[in-house]
Amino acid sequence: MNQVKLAVNGVDLVFEPNYTAYNQFINEMSMDNKVAPANNYLRRIASQDTKEALDTILVLPGAALQLVEEVNKIFAPKLEIEVKN
């Protein structure tokens, strides 16, 4: 299992992203609903030992979206795509 370890405002967080949780996050997200799916996704993939610490971070404005971006940079990196004709 891949782990993503982050230090956020001096708090260590460990995430264990997986395809099921990632796909559920993408499917729940819409143009007018991004924060709740991000919170849910992070809570699903947070290691048991850091769930309580995560809750202290998620109360900060914008925290969920910033964390999701960092976790997914590692779990689902951008592909290098080139169009060839």
pLDDT tens column, 17-35: 999 999 999 999 999 999 9
* Average model confidence (pLDDT) across the chain: 95
| Distance, CA of 79 to chain centre | 18
Q: What is the mean pLDDT of residues 33-46?
A: 96
Residue 84 in domain: no
Residue 66 in domain: yes
Number of domains in the chain: 1
Q: Quick check: 37 and 29 in contact, CB under 8 A? A: yes
Verdict on whether the full-model pTM lies above 0.75: yes
Boundaries of domain holding 49: 4-75
- Identify the pLDDT of residue 8: 96
